[in-house]
Structure 1
């Protein structure tokens, strides 16, 4: 009996070691995959704050929480199962689907650029009361959250596709791939929206610091309050640019083109800058072609 119990305990210990090794492998795979997707994660972080700008402070974190929940649903409920199924049964379909998503990002980015120019030349401005009424309306909040979740879906699909490619190259087991992608999805979502939440609340942090007695703390708090509008305006520009270069890059790379290589650049920061810049130009051109087609379709649907 004791020998049987000892053998059983040995078997349990062996199983535990195998399980621990598998967990370590999954964690390692998730870490490598997250590193490969870091560029798109940064773009995702830059894009999101513009959807929260203009809301009253008490609504900022609830809105970010709603977007974060939508992002988690995007990754775990829709993208992860679809990515695994496509990878197993129809790997050829992943690139065209991503390219369609890339076209949507190009459209979103180009529409924002066109709206900026239109606002600058219109000369018509809303009254302060009209702006406040729009920004505090439930419909406006719902539309902004929906828009953020749609954009997140495309960026999340790109992140998960990059992660899946990295994992699939090293680990053929679909269970390990799924485990690694779950870790990537949760970790990246928490990181992105944690940073976004910190960014949009920095002015409140600065206001709190500005009320302290300590001179240095007060000065730093005032600097934060004064600098936040400029930072958010900068992030809005970066977010729009990110939509264009990520969308353009998905489409350009989908066709097997690598713009940096045309200039003899294959690796390094300069290659990335050239590739991103030319992909952004391509994204703006593609998006600018889609915008009028979308408006024509929307007018015909409304008629």
Structure 2
């Protein structure tokens, strides 16, 4: 009896792990866009610290990220257990925020002039180069900023993951969310660590004797800034695709309209299959851009109205 119970337990655990693995794969695919943005933003956040402190800063942010997820995962489980109806509204809010943040990045060059950007860059360079500057405090500020960014994106990742687990048992939700939290943290910050040290690796290789190693090193030095720029562009695009997709799926008429357009595109001779697969993503991204623009305009108008009220005497 004990033996059969043990075998039954092992079979149950195996089935649960198989389900969890499948759901984790789906949740990971759903959150891949946000993950790309998380990677790009956090790689940018840790830029500007001294070379010997880059990895400790990344590690400190990674620890903060785990703390974030230790808060977010129980909160997500509580929501899915007690107020499951709140999942879709939370997804919509998160999607709207992603669209807003993405459009704000696009509008940055119009909202902030070049002189402001150069002044900010000069402050960073001075802070790192000036021995009188408290680099510990400077690092803490960078770390706290990166952890705040991580909290927002981690919340979105957890909520998106939760949205794929509506019909899962509580145990499955626990396992998947914990798995996603660990995978995302290790994956993101492992890659961030590699990215911020890529130029150092290139410099190291250029000092080697072999011609192939020196050529590879020079290639890494040249590629590093372009990689960072590419991550930033990919992250922004992902924000619109993921955020816009969440919004369009949450608004049935818009979702059906996009499905109709995609179906029509599928009838185009020769390239119909490709168009039918690509059009929904493009439409989601365009919807995200429009939503981001409208939210940014509303936020700017609200700020101006608030400032006007504060400036009035009495």
TM-score, scaled relative to structure 2: 0.77
Contact 1:109–1:243 (CA<8 Å) still a contact in 2?
yes
Do residues 208 (structure 1) and 204 (structure 2) align? Answer: yes
| TM-aligned CA distance change 1:91 to 1:15, over 3 Å | closer
**Which stretch has the larger CA shift, 257-266 or 147-156?**
257-266
Secondary structure of the residue aligned to 1:213 is coil
2:266 equivalent in structure 1:
none
Asked if 1:196 is matched to 2:197, the reply is no
The 5-angstrom pairing of residues 153-302 of structure 1 reads 153-169=151-167, 171=168, 173-243=169-239, 246-256=242-252, 257-258=254-255, 261=258, 264-265=261-262, 268-291=277-300, 293-294=302-303
Residue 38, structure 1, aligned to residue 32, structure 2:
yes
**Matching residue within 60, 65, 86 for 1:93:** 86
Q: Distance in 2 between matches of 1:298 and 1:109?
A: 25
Question: RMSD over aligned Cα, in angstroms?
Answer: 3.4
Match of 1:3? none
- How far residue 144 of structure 1 moved from its aligned partner, in angstroms, is 3.4
2:75 aligned partner: 82
**Where do residues 22-33 of structure 1 align in structure 2 (5 Å cutoff)?**
22-33=16-27
Task: Report the CA distance between 1:265 and its aligned residue.
Answer: 1.9
State the 1:292 CA deviation.
5.6
Q: Any unmatched runs of 5+ in structure 1?
A: 1-6
| SS of 1:265 mapped into structure 2 | helix
1:26/1:180 contact within 8 Å kept: yes
| Paired residues of 2:46 and 2:146 also in contact (CA < 8 A) | no
Provide the residue aligned with 2:56 in structure 1: 62
Q: 1:152 to 1:232 in 2, by over 3 A?
A: same
How many residue pairs are counted as aligned between the two chains? Answer: 294
Residues 250 and 207 of structure 1, relative CA distance in 2, 3 Å threshold:
same
Cα distance in 2 between the residues matched to 1:259 and 1:232: 37
Q: Deviations over 1:203-243 (max 9, x none)?
A: 11111111111112211111111221232233334434544
* Distance apart, 1:174 and its partner CA: 0.6
- 1:260 touches 1:275 (CA, 8 Å); kept in 2? no
